[in-house]
Structure formats: structure tokens, C-alpha cells
Amino acid sequence: MNKIIRSELLVCFLLGALTVPGFAPFYLFPIPLATLALLCHFWRNSARPRTAGLLGFSFGMGMFSAGVTWLYISLHDFGAMPMPVAVLALIFLCSYLALFPAMTGWTLRKLDIASPIVWALTAGALWALSDWLRSVLFTGFPWLTLGYSQAPLSPLAGFAPIIGVYGISLLVVLSAALLCLLVRKEFRKPLHFLPLLTLWLAGEGLQQIHWTEPEGEPVTVSLLQGNIPQDMKWREDQLISSMENYARLVLQSDSRLIITPEISIPLYRNEVSPVYLAHLAAHAKRNNGDVLVGLVEAAGGRSEYYNSMFSFGTSPEQSYRKYHLVPFGEFIPLKPVFGWIINVLKIPLSDFSRGALGQQPMNIAGQRVAVNICYEDVFGEEIIQQLPQATLLANVSNDAWFGRSIGPRQHLQISQMRALETGRYMVRATNTGVTAIINERGRVLQEAEIFTTTALHGTAQGFAGATPYVRFGNSLILGLCGILLGLAVLSAFRETRKKR
């Protein structure tokens, strides 16, 4: 490997790291356009597919190393994984994630597309497909999907209700590739600026469309933030204190809908005193509403147990079981291979059972609430399983696992994208933050101060109707990517024939 290639790999690594401020908590959405335009420049100059693949891998290593370092806190600080093992685990994960931009660069160069516009479209389609594939393989890890960087401030966010986050990934890379070609003067005429300008103006125009409409009166909500330290949450001597803490927060609220975080009471449902739950239910009834409580649900004599939310109050008791579990946190994939990790990580209840996909919204507090638990709101195609029936989205989480890192803010931005895609309010009740109320435009209307014991009181408007994304999910963007790649292959085939 010559010195020029080595220097380009280093530059691409730095470009990847510099992409992270494009995401929350910084929300500097133009940054990914600049860093990816430079990556596209290096890809355009690559002599071989292998070189383009290595450049993409280096970019990915930079982006994921800088963007998901909070996982070290989960593994080492709270999971008690030895420091060298935690570091190696992070390196392994980042290397795996970096394979996807590497695959994009390799394939783009392998196709050897001469036409600048077809090359730019192909780059966008390949990146979008790689982001989607990353969300599917091995149960998926779509964190730092490029499209999230544009929520909710970028004009490109206007495309979210139509083609979702992966579609916005395509548009970000397409924009970056067009910018690269303009700077390289491969587009020479003034009219060649039009595709890029049209794309961003179209996004701004789409933001003026109301895909859904309000239904009924706004509901008063109280989102409880217990602020229980992660290293104290499962200690038996702290149980009474935690239960009293949440009971006090519930009883201080006069909202119709009161929501506690994920497993706010670290007990099985049948272990909780009926008197305690009746006390919460009676207060909710006085408010003419309901309270949602996070508990562990046992089944089959505790041979199965679920991460669940239960409702108590005016409506009949209902529950939701978490469907998409966190690998190595809530279940161990391929136990014959990775079963030893249970003995390394000190994570309680690390073998949950999976709830059913397509559970129906809860009819509570005059709303039809689509509950999703923690990591589940990273998967937009699963969230829409409860739509368009649901009028309101609710995410409950325990981001204390991330400590005082950028992780919780990144998670908030993911919830903002779900609100944009569905045209629904998203209310978030978390243990340590970010507890927030997000409107159907993806804007944070209210948020609680992180790492404080508090309740966020506000109102949430229910919405009816279905965005194109709710109706078709990811099929629109996957179909578009298929068409664009078909055109790319056809263009590459024609170029090959010309050279003959």
C-alpha cells in the first residue's frame, strides 16, 4: 500500500469521525453532506474496487468509532465487562458496521459507471441499501443511519413521511455526490446545479404538506423520570425506594395519561403488591385516565419472561410485550457460540422472550397508544405495524445504560424521525433522560432536564390518517433502489460494450 493510499485512508477515517456532529446532540445536518462529498471524491478517483472498499471501510471506522463509543459505558461501567474485552468488543462491532460503507464503495467502483448522474444516483441507492441491510442482519443495528442526521431541521426531512429514514440516506448521499461532481467540474453547465437545488427545494415544499390530521382534543400527559442510577436499579435494598419514588410521581400528577419508563418497577408483575397497583389505578381513575407501568411479565412458570408495559386505570387492563430485543443485552443470539458472554456481562434478566409482532395499540386515556420499548423505536418498519390505528406513539426507555454520553440524545433524534415518518406525536418516558414530547413534525416541544427525578407535564395531540410511509413502509425506497441499481447495471453493461 503506497503512501498516497495510506494518507487517503487516514483522511477518510477523520471524515467519518467528523460526520458524527451531523447527528444529535449537535444537529449540524450540513456536515454529512461535506464529509460524504469528499468521500465521493476519493471514490471517484479510486483506481480499483479494493481501494474504494478500503476507503469506505476507513470512513465507517471513523464514524462508528466516534458515534457509538457510549457502548463502552454499557459494557464496562454497567455490564462489568473487563476493559480489554470491552475495547475489543467495540473494535469488532465498529469493524463489522464499517463493512457496509466498504461494500458501498467497492460496488460503486466495480460497476465503473461513466455517466456522472447515474454514478451519483447509484451511490445514493447503494448507501441506502447498506443502511437498510445493517438494520436487518443479525437482528439489526441501524444506529447512525445517515438519514437520521437530517431530522428534523433539514429540508430533506420533508421526505420522511414518504420514503422514511433510508430514503433520506439515499438523498443525503445523492446530494453529496452531486456536490462532489459540481466541485470536480464534471457538471459544467449552469443547469447542472438544478438537480441538487430541486431536490432540496422539493424537501422544503413537502414539509408544508399535512399528511395526517388531528383527532379529538389533546390529552394531558405526565412522563415520569425516576432517575434511578443503573448500578442501583436492580439492588434489592433499593426496591422500596424506587417503588415509593414512582408512586409519589404518579400521585402528584393530574394528567389523564401517566407513563413510567421501561421496567420502572424491577419486579415480575405477579410479585408486585396488588394494593400498590390498586393505589396507582385508583389515582388514574380519579383523573379519568390511565397509568402505564413498566414491569417484567412472567409466563410458563417463569420459563418465559417479557419486557412489558401494563395499563391501570379507567380502561380495562392492557399490556404490551417488547418484540425487538437487544442482542447481548436482553437475549443471547446463537447461544452455543456466544453463551459464555452471560458469565462475562453482569446484566440481570438477559434472556427475555420475544413478544408478538403486530400487537394492537392500547385504548387508554381516550387515545390509541402505540407503545414501543427502548431500542424498538430504531425500527420504523416495526413501529408502523400499529398504524394507522394508533393516534399517539409512546416510547419508554432506560438510557441510563448510556451514561452522560451522546447516546441518549441520538436516541431522541431517532424518536423524532419516527414522529416525522408517521405524522404522530411521540411521547418519551425515560429513566434518566431524554424524557420529551415530540410533535408530528419531529420537533421537541418539551423535555425534562436529564439526570433529575421529575415528571414532565404537558399535552399531546392525537392524529389520524396514514402517511405514504405508514402505508407502504420501506417497500417504496427498496423498490426505488432496485430500479436505480438496474439502471446502473445497464449503464455499466453499455460502457463495457463500447470499450470492446
488-500: per-residue pLDDT in tens?
988 877 776 676 6
Residue 85 binned pLDDT confidence (cut-offs 50, 70, 90): confident
| Rg of the chain, C-alpha, whole Å | 24
C-alpha dihedral, 397 to 402 to 405 to 408, nearest 10°: -20
Instruction: Write down the pLDDT at residue 346.
Output: 58
- Considering the domain architecture, whether residues 138 and 259 belong to the same structural domain is answered as no
- Its pTM stands at 0.94
Which residue range is the domain that position 320 belongs to?
213-466
Mean model confidence pLDDT for the chain: 91
- Considering the domain architecture, whether residues 220 and 234 belong to the same structural domain is answered as yes
Q: Is 499 a catalytic residue?
A: no
Q: Are 374 and 143 in contact (CB under 8 A)?
A: no
Q: Judge whether residue 340 has pLDDT over 70.
A: no
- Considering the domain architecture, whether residues 99 and 148 belong to the same structural domain is answered as yes
- Considering the domain architecture, whether residues 421 and 316 belong to the same structural domain is answered as yes
Q: Is 322 a catalytic residue?
A: yes
- Considering the domain architecture, whether residues 234 and 335 belong to the same structural domain is answered as yes
Residue 211 binned pLDDT confidence (cut-offs 50, 70, 90): very high
Instruction: Write down the pLDDT at residue 164.
Output: 98
- Considering the domain architecture, whether residues 366 and 309 belong to the same structural domain is answered as yes
Specify which of 4-8, 182-186, 274-278 reaches the highest per-range mean pLDDT.
Answer: 274-278
Instruction: Write down the pLDDT at residue 139.
Output: 87
- Considering the domain architecture, whether residues 279 and 190 belong to the same structural domain is answered as no
For 412-447, what is each residue's pLDDT tens digit? 999 999 999 999 999 999 999 899 999 999 999 999
63 vs 86: CA distance, rounded Å = 19
Q: Which of 8, 40, 94, 262 is catalytic?
A: 262
Instruction: Write down the pLDDT at residue 499.
Output: 66
Q: Judge whether residue 354 has pLDDT over 80.
A: yes
Q: Are 414 and 209 in contact (CB under 8 A)?
A: no
> 49 preceded by cis ω (within 30°)?
no
> Which sign, positive or negative, has the C-alpha torsion 157, 162, 166, 168?
negative
- Considering the domain architecture, whether residues 159 and 78 belong to the same structural domain is answered as yes
Q: Judge whether residue 343 has pLDDT over 60.
A: no
Q: Is 262 a catalytic residue?
A: yes
Q: Judge whether residue 477 has pLDDT over 80.
A: yes
Q: Which of 40, 322, 421, 440 is catalytic?
A: 322
Question: Is the pLDDT higher at 196 or at 492?
Answer: 196
Instruction: Write down the pLDDT at residue 245.
Output: 94
Residue 20 binned pLDDT confidence (cut-offs 50, 70, 90): very high
- Considering the domain architecture, whether residues 354 and 387 belong to the same structural domain is answered as yes
**C-alpha grid cell, residue 143:** 444506529
Q: Which of 374, 376, 440, 481 is catalytic?
A: 374
Domain count, the chain: 2
- Considering the domain architecture, whether residues 265 and 362 belong to the same structural domain is answered as yes
Residue 342 binned pLDDT confidence (cut-offs 50, 70, 90): low
- Considering the domain architecture, whether residues 459 and 489 belong to the same structural domain is answered as no
- Considering the domain architecture, whether residues 488 and 408 belong to the same structural domain is answered as no
Q: Judge whether residue 222 has pLDDT over 70.
A: yes
CATH number reported for the structural domain that contains residue 413 in this entry: 3.60.110.10
Calculate what percentage of the chain has a pLDDT beyond 90.
Answer: 74
Q: Judge whether residue 348 has pLDDT over 80.
A: no
